[in-house]
Amino acid sequence: MSVDISLRVNGAEHRLAVEPTETLVNVLRNRLGMTGTHKDCTMGICGACTILLNGQPVSSCLLLACQADGEAIRTIEGLERDGALSLLQEAFLRYGAVQCGFCTPGFLMIAVALLEKNPKPDRNEIIDALKGNLCRCTGYTKIVDAIEFVANN
Amino acid sequence: MASDKKQPDGQKFALESAKQQALWQREFQQIVADVQGQALGPNWTANSSPRNIGLPLPRNDVLYKVRGTARYAANISMDGMLYGRFVRSQEPHARILNIDVSAATQAPGVHAILTADEIPQDRLLVGTHDNDTPILAKDRVRYVGEPIVAIVAESVEQAQQACDLVEVEYESLPVIFTPEEAIIVGAYQIDAEAEGNIITEHRHDVGDVDAAFAAADIVLENTFTTEPIDHCFLEAQAGLAFVDSGGTLNLLVSTQYPHFHHEQLARVTGLPMEKIRVIQTVVGGAFGGKIDDTIECASCLLALKTSRPVSMTLTREEVFIATTKRHRLKFRQKLAATKEGHLTALELDILCDGGAYRSYSRVVAGRCVVHAGMPYRFPNLRVHFMTAFTNHVPSGSMRSFGVVKMAFALESHLTELAAKIGISPIEIRKRNGFVDGDVISTGQVLQDVGLLKTLAEIEPIYERRKRELAGVHGQGQMNPGRKRGLGVACLGYGIGYSGIRNPSTARLAVSADGFVTAFCGTPDIGTGSDMALTQIAAEALDIDLGRLRVVSGDSTKTDDSGPTSASRTTYFSGNAVCLASEDFKRQFCTAVAEKTGCLPAQVRIDNDRVIVQNEPLAFEQACRLIADDVDAIVGYGKFDPDIEIDISTYQGNAYPTYTYGTHLVEIEVDEELGSVDVVRYWAAHDGGVIVNPIGAEGQVEGGIVQGLGMALWEKIVRQEGFIVNPHYRDYLLPGAMDIPGELSVWFVETYDRTGPFGAKGLAEASIIPTPGAIAGAISNAVGVWPRGIPMESEKILELMGHYSADAAKSATVKGQPREPR
Amino acid sequence: MTACLYTRLDTVDDAVQCLASAGEDGHVIAGGVALGILMNERLVKPVHLLDISRIDALKRIEVTAEGVLSIGALATHQEVLTSAAVAATCPLLIEMSSEIACERIRNRGTIGGSICLGDPQGDPPVALLALDAVVRAAGPQGLRDIPIRTFFQDVYTTALQSDEILQEIRIPRIPDGGGMAYHKFSARRAMDYATTVSAAVQLACDPDDGRIINAGLGLGGVGVTPVWSKAIADGLLNATPCPEIFAWMRKMVHEELSPIGDHLYSADYKSHVAAVILRRATERAYNRAVAGSDRR
């Protein structure tokens, strides 16, 4: 039985029919072609699939698409403004917060949510916010540096 | 909507039009100009020379990675694409009596089913160094998780459901789970070619070890153990295979070595080399784990069989269960020294679990043998290194190829020795560390050794923190039950393959509008090596960085330059780029000279201009001038240093150069629980001249944190051949909260005479000292020496004697062995 | 592909009815954290998903006139963590919630879901055991109150019947002068699912002589269910923290608990850790009680 749902992704409305067991990450990647949200552990642990659901970070690998019916979803594809990088994206670039980049979408979305809630987090608050996202390349330091730069600007 | 449904072009980023490409180039040029203008680097000014080396430039690939448009293999889709999945062995060692695919054939959405029976025997086996690993198991499985059947269907779910319907009938064979059992006379021979189950055995003997031990003032001897580790790159192995309209088999794949797959595919498919193209996609981390065949051959065979594009992505569980691991090691180390703290002898007897196939076992062994005792002078040295087959997933290459495990033992003993004779852990290393002119155990003479400079950088910090901690402990300022400790460890690491030639090549081409492309076989696996090569090329050509683009990791467009591994890309490919630049400049200046009617010697490139008889032209102006001839200009460079070790004597030049470093760590131990917090960390490295400080720092920081995970928590746990923790949930990686609050990285000033603009390599090396440094710090804090990694809280507490585990503990393991899916 | 039915429910009554008619096939889904993992691991293949996540009535967090803190089963961990009502009445739940995984999990995971799962390593059950909470379930026969201390019955098995839906968690009024603390041990500081041992302690003491006059405690990761020990709690009554009482507690932990060794820690080590962190939580709770303030 498929379910008709509507998703507002980065402001654009998408109407589609999904299977009840389809996860949001699969719908974003396979149905909407939005592959910026990555998929790895599918157990809510790595954080690569983090998106914002009504402004709050959630794991899109554990969220059924039909449960997100009618809700506002934000992904990495929605971070640019008029083709220009957001300050956060630029900070990730300049501070070397990205190496292989596979975890990057999740870290960016977590950082967006943090800074919207708390525009001036201190270093410990930043680290605490990142605690559920895994990165194997950078050792985290430069990711924290990048977010701290945005917090201070 | 999905924008790249048409045939993918191998472009690593979603650049749909030339216009977008131009925008990207401009955006990057702007950033370069910004950085150059801001002169963010401590030593860089607008007029300084060199202009590109040492500049803290951001990476151009990151422009896409932060936008979510980087094309990782699993992000690419095509019309009519099918999805593949494997049926995997659920037995550690068994004969396959029958494979019943009848139900799977009928399953919805299934297009094709591939078993080993369809692959001719002479095409079935693949492998990097030995073709010993079947693409799909035939007749026998050697480990849990070995692929047996591959199925493609319209969706991943359908392919998986069909896999679930395959019935494999097994007859169990004797199982071997430790190398000790494997080498017993009469043990079941796992590999037909390997008598005694030995994958590789090496002996290296220098000086008179026995006499040195007899004469020694101090002898330390212990047995050390390490556990298997997973690479845990966040992007699982993934690829997309398709046959294009010209009949060429294309494979877009996340790999460290596209040319390896190209060559294997030619043999496995029977297609001529020119009818195959392997293109590396954006790689989501590798660390040595994307250098074997996993999905490559199977997905290509299925694409040929179905005439449809076939996409395969491993699940995280499959990555844990069925792809290579860092070797599990058990070894005895015996070290001799004088009472003045001079090292006199080292003896190592190492036994390694190689798993069910060879993979990189021989390479790991060879590197460990050459690195025995590094980076210290041991006049007498004896190493016996043996790796045996077992019924575990194959052990393969991982960051540092085993050297980190040797360093754990060696650095532990060094620190212990220092304590015994009453000198500081820095001093013992200063007394014995390599300096210019030292001869290593293979007879090679070292030059441009920066080890003592890194020690000098760390020493004052060590002395300061030692004083401060003594005060803190003495005045009772620590929380009760908590103790701090400091640990030091060093590293020396050879750049490139061990003892065999491994050339790298580069080609440089230019377009009429003034853009230069560097073609290089070694792919960027996420480390930023393309950016380093861009900077090296810009410096060598003396043109603006924004004019340069690197094309790497495309088996058709680039020559085989070996894999991106062994910390070799900056050094080997950077040198190749330098050589290609010289060739390019010669051709370019000749072409300009011909057009302008002067002599080639009267033309030179200077600061992004072309000087013709003292008249400057803008670079693109000169390119337009020779527009008709630009296609003919191809600068070629091959870097092939004279590296050769005679394996029977272990004598010769092992590596063209070596990188060095010293780490200092401060930890805090909870004396009641045995748990360790890493509080502060300092690392000083000699990587030669640093091409890109942001990138280099990132490599070092990442390596330290990987080393920290390996030191404290990470281990693959097996039970009867099944991995019991094949998930991040149970396999513990360091997270953001686990990193030291202070983490400082320095690069000492050194210049490597053989490197591109003085650069060495350093990517892997930073993992090497971490476990040894942490062990030393634990000993410094609470007075016990853990001899195995990970140094888990329970083990530390047991060593401290505060608690004793029941002997029966190993009998209770949570849950049942997991079956692979 | 097996077709799966999906029904979104708006009221508790509808949910109970739908669950009754779906019978064995019905799978209640709230935040989907636990069920999502099980589905992705292909350990559960739901036939009929009953989505209760939009029943607003189950999201309320309020303090009743009698001083009972009532938390709707669908309150997310993040909502509990940031609730003013919880902060004012029961800071233990704040301290506990801050230890749950990470924000993106807390944003979907619900307190009710955590209890229904009955994970021996879950955080909320441990705190609620210490607080002597009551679980209110809605079923075909109406509402049923179940003391949390009898709720966790066996491995991932609770007292909730298959035709019942968890409605709310009720935490009795905490007497003034109380102190509470939550302590969690894990291998890493990053979020850990697999390797945690946790302890929650709630104490009240006599304002005059400092004797403990009321004690509740819960332990996690030390058995097949979250554990409540009446014997240890009772033993604390009329005592004041001192080396002797802690030595007795350590002995009791080793006798009373049967942790299960796993791939990281032996059973003995888990007992050892449980004893240490129970003592630390007790000390901290007592200090807070004595200080007269439960704020951290």
pLDDT per residue as tens digits for the range B419-442: 999 999 999 999 999 999 999 999
C129 and C235 share one domain: no
Q: What is the mean pLDDT of residues B775-789?
A: 97
The pLDDT of residue B809 is above 60: no
Q: Cα dihedral sign for B202, B428, B484, C253? A: positive
What is the C-alpha end-to-end distance of chain B, expressed in Å?
A: 32
**What was the pLDDT predicted at A54?**
97
Q: What is the mean pLDDT of residues B713-720?
A: 96
The pLDDT of residue B808 is above 50: no
Q: For domain B423-497+653-811, is the CATH number 2.60.40.10?
A: no
Which residues in chain A show pLDDT less than 50? Answer: none
Say if the Cβ atoms of A130 and B736 lie within 8 Å: yes
Q: Cα dihedral sign for A58, A60, A61, A64? A: positive
Q: Where is C152: in which H helix or E strand? A: strand C152-154
Q: How many domains does chain C have?
A: 3
Question: End of a domain among C156, C171, C186?
Answer: C171
**What was the pLDDT predicted at B565?**
86
C160 in a domain, yes or no? Answer: yes
Domain with C192 in it: 178-290
- Average pLDDT for chain B: 92
- The DSSP call for residue B536 is H
Distance CA(B649)–CA(B205), nearest Å, equals 8
Question: End of a domain among C171, C197, C215?
Answer: C171
The pLDDT of residue B788 is above 50: yes
Show me where the domains of chain A are located: 3-78, 87-151
The pLDDT of residue B43 is above 60: no
**What was the pLDDT predicted at C189?**
78
In Å, how far is C8's CA from the nearest CA of chain A? Answer: 9
Distance CA(B116)–CA(C286), nearest Å, equals 68
Q: Where is B36: in which H helix or E strand? A: helix B18-38
Instruction: Give the three-class secondary structure for A70.
Output: coil
Interface ipTM: 0.97
**What was the pLDDT predicted at B805?**
52
Q: What class is the A3-78 domain?
A: alpha beta
Q: B9 pLDDT band (50/70/90 cuts)?
A: low
The pLDDT of residue B344 is above 80: yes
**What was the pLDDT predicted at B183?**
97
Most B CBs within 10 Å, among A29, A99, A104, A138, to test the B interface: A99
Q: What is the mean pLDDT of residues B765-779?
A: 98
Question: End of a domain among C14, C29, C51?
Answer: C51
C184 and C276 share one domain: yes
Residues of A in contact with C46 (CB under 8 A): 20-21
C66 and C167 share one domain: yes
Q: B806 pLDDT band (50/70/90 cuts)?
A: very low
The pLDDT of residue B679 is above 80: yes
Pick B814's closest partner by Cβ from C185, C260, C276.
C260
C268 in a domain, yes or no? Answer: yes
Where, residue-wise, is CATH 3.30.365.10 in chain B?
A: 423-497+653-811, 504-640
Distance CA(C89)–CA(C69), nearest Å, equals 7
More confident residue, B386 or B806: B386
Q: Determine contact: C258 vs chain B, CB below 8 A.
A: no
**What was the pLDDT predicted at B713?**
95
C234 and C133 share one domain: no
Closest CA relative to residue B700, chosen from B661, B643, B666, B671: B661
C70 and C117 share one domain: yes
Distance CA(A37)–CA(C33), nearest Å, equals 19
C30 and C83 share one domain: no
**What was the pLDDT predicted at C40?**
95
C142 and C163 share one domain: yes
Q: Which residue of B has its CA nearest to A79?
A: B67
C64 and C103 share one domain: yes
Q: B821 pLDDT band (50/70/90 cuts)?
A: very low
CA atoms within 13 A on the CB side of B559: 16
In Å, how far is C181's CA from the nearest CA of chain A? Answer: 20
Distance CA(B203)–CA(A77), nearest Å, equals 56
CATH number of the domain that residue C120 is part of: 3.30.465.10
**What was the pLDDT predicted at B226?**
97
Q: Determine contact: A19 vs chain B, CB below 8 A.
A: no
Most B CBs within 10 Å, among C268, C271, C283, to test the B interface: C268
C116 and C69 share one domain: yes
**What was the pLDDT predicted at B815?**
36
Q: What is the mean pLDDT of residues B702-716?
A: 97
Say if the Cβ atoms of B706 and A139 lie within 8 Å: yes
The pLDDT of residue B812 is above 50: no
C235 and C183 share one domain: yes
Closest CA relative to residue B371, chosen from B416, B402, B335, B409: B402
C296 in a domain, yes or no? Answer: no
Q: Which CATH number fits domain A87-151: 3.40.605.10, 3.40.50.300, 1.10.1060.10, 1.10.150.120?
A: 1.10.150.120
Which residues in chain C show pLDDT less than 70? Answer: 1-2, 190-195, 292-296
C258 in a domain, yes or no? Answer: yes
Distance CA(C273)–CA(C269), nearest Å, equals 6
The pLDDT of residue B818 is above 50: no
CATH number of the domain that residue C260 is part of: 3.30.390.50
Q: What is the mean pLDDT of residues B660-686?
A: 97
Q: Determine contact: B702 vs chain A, CB below 8 A.
A: yes
**What was the pLDDT predicted at B4?**
43
Closest CA relative to residue B399, chosen from B491, B322, B332, B314: B491
Per 3-state DSSP, chain B is made up of helix, strand and coil in percentages (nearest 5) of 35, 25, 40
Pick B734's closest partner by Cβ from C185, C188, C272.
C188
**Neighbour subunits, A (≥3 Cβ pairs < 8 A):** B, C
Q: What is the mean pLDDT of residues B9-13?
A: 67
Distance CA(B611)–CA(B163), nearest Å, equals 66
Q: What class is the B504-640 domain?
A: alpha beta
